[in-house]
Amino acid sequence: MSSANAVQSVSALFRPHRDATVSTYIRNPKMAFSVYLCSVSGCCLILLSHLSSTAPPNNISVVAENTPAPFSRYQAQNFTLLCTAKGGKPAPSVYFKRDGELIEVISYTHPTSMEQGGGAAGVRGARPLISRDLDDTKLQRSLSLLDPEGRLSHLYTDNPQRVHTQGQQASEPSPATEVIPETVVSREFPRWVHSTDPLYYFSHTHIPQSDGSVVVQARLTWTLNPQLDNDALFSCEVKHPALSMPMQTEVTLAAPKGPKLFMSPTRAKVGDTVRISVQGFQVGSPGNEVFPEPLFTWTRVGGRLLDGSTEREGKELILERVPAELNGSMYRCTAQNPLGSTDTHTRLIVFGIENNYSLARDLVTVSLMACLNTVKHQKQLQ
């Protein structure tokens, strides 16, 4: 829409030596979310036309970073949710909730000197978390790490300042040297102590696009506790001036619950190519059965796979030209993600082996009879 057309839609009366300002918002029908502000100022009969465009995000998604990943039984793991909002003009604000409640976080994003001066946004990524926890062999000589109520004190920062992600920015927590307890010999498989009140670390980046929109990537990182975080509902919400209410997408953290296995063909014969694939899980609601995406590993119980390897990754195991020796062999499919691990077994039955044995027996019998006849004939000639 040109400035002349915008001015024609405004009816303003201008008088000499008197200021008169009329402003109106005009929508362009060809652009669904574009709003233009046209201001007509009567001071000295100067026409000022201010045009600005705004658009809400058109896509929002949540994924888990660094997945698929295995389950760790004896060591704490850091877990990160990545929320991406695309298409917003200007950049929207992004925040996380857990089970419907706003998450209290430690923010590691702060405006740089360029951003404060109106330049491009600069973001410093979150510092890596300290994944060292305390096992029960260290508690006796490290009582100083307990608070008066007997709970483990946090070793990550020195009195960090907590903030909410919605519309707030926190000053950077002051760095502190980690408290290292006395050196002790731990068991081979320590039982890791999980905190019931984890620290959530928040960071975000702004990526300008050629069309004027901004892609916002927000990350939420914490030390995962499979016992508490399994079945927890995490949501990412996006606020924008062009939205009457926040956009939202959510995921439920869930461990695998036994993969369903399908074998093709159902009646395998000697020489066939057999495919064993994962078709969903034994327990879980449709649409959001397992999150994050699990890692599938195949092994043969009591031996190696047909190609000689000990294990194979993927949602499908292919056995090419199965021999009769694999009849009755058992295969294990392990599905695991950072929240848990589970196994499902299936047995391979090769059909048609009896017919092959009968044919082989007949061939051996015929060969033996031919040999006997040859020997008998030679004796008669002598």
pLDDT digits (tens, 9 = 90+) for 275-328: 999 998 876 555 457 899 999 999 999 999 999 999 999 999 999 999 999 999
Mean pLDDT of the chain: 71
- Tell me the C-alpha distance between 215 and 59, whole Å: 10
Q: What is the pLDDT of residue 281?
A: 86
Six-digit token string for 171:
């000053």
Residue bearing the bigger pLDDT, 145 or 322: 322
Candidate from 38-47, 220-229, 360-369 with smallest mean pLDDT:
38-47
The architecture that CATH gives domain 259-351 is Sandwich (2.60)
- Tell me the C-alpha distance between 334 and 342, whole Å: 6
Q: What is the pLDDT of residue 61?
A: 95
Q: What is the pLDDT of residue 75?
A: 84
Phi, psi of 145 (to 5 degrees): -85, -5
Six-digit token string for 44:
């000295």
pLDDT category, 381, cuts 50, 70, 90?
Answer: low
Cβ neighbours around 132 below 10 Å, total? 12
Q: What are the sequence ranges of the domains in the chain? A: 3-48, 59-252, 259-351, 355-382
**CB under 8 Å to 206, separation ≥6 — which residues?**
91, 121, 123, 214, 215, 216
59-252 with 259-351: one CATH topology? yes
CATH 3.30.56.10 for the 59-252 domain, yes or no: no
Mean pLDDT of 219-228: 92
Q: What is the pLDDT of residue 378?
A: 56
Specify the pTM. 0.60
Q: What is the pLDDT of residue 363?
A: 46
Q: What is the pLDDT of residue 367?
A: 53
Q: What is the DSSP string of 263-289?
A: EESSSEETTPPEEEEEEEESS--TT-S
pLDDT category, 129, cuts 50, 70, 90?
Answer: very low
- Tell me the C-alpha distance between 156 and 222, whole Å: 11
pLDDT digits (tens, 9 = 90+) for 334-360: 999 999 999 999 999 998 776 554 444
Candidate from 35-49, 106-120, 357-371 with smallest mean pLDDT:
35-49
Residue bearing the bigger pLDDT, 355 or 203: 203
- Tell me the C-alpha distance between 189 and 98, whole Å: 31
| 340, 230 Cβ separation under 8 angstroms | yes
Number of H helices and E strands in the chain, helices first, is: 4, 22
pLDDT digits (tens, 9 = 90+) for 76-123: 899 999 999 999 999 999 999 999 999 999 987 544 434 444 433 333
Percent of the chain scored above 90 by pLDDT?
43
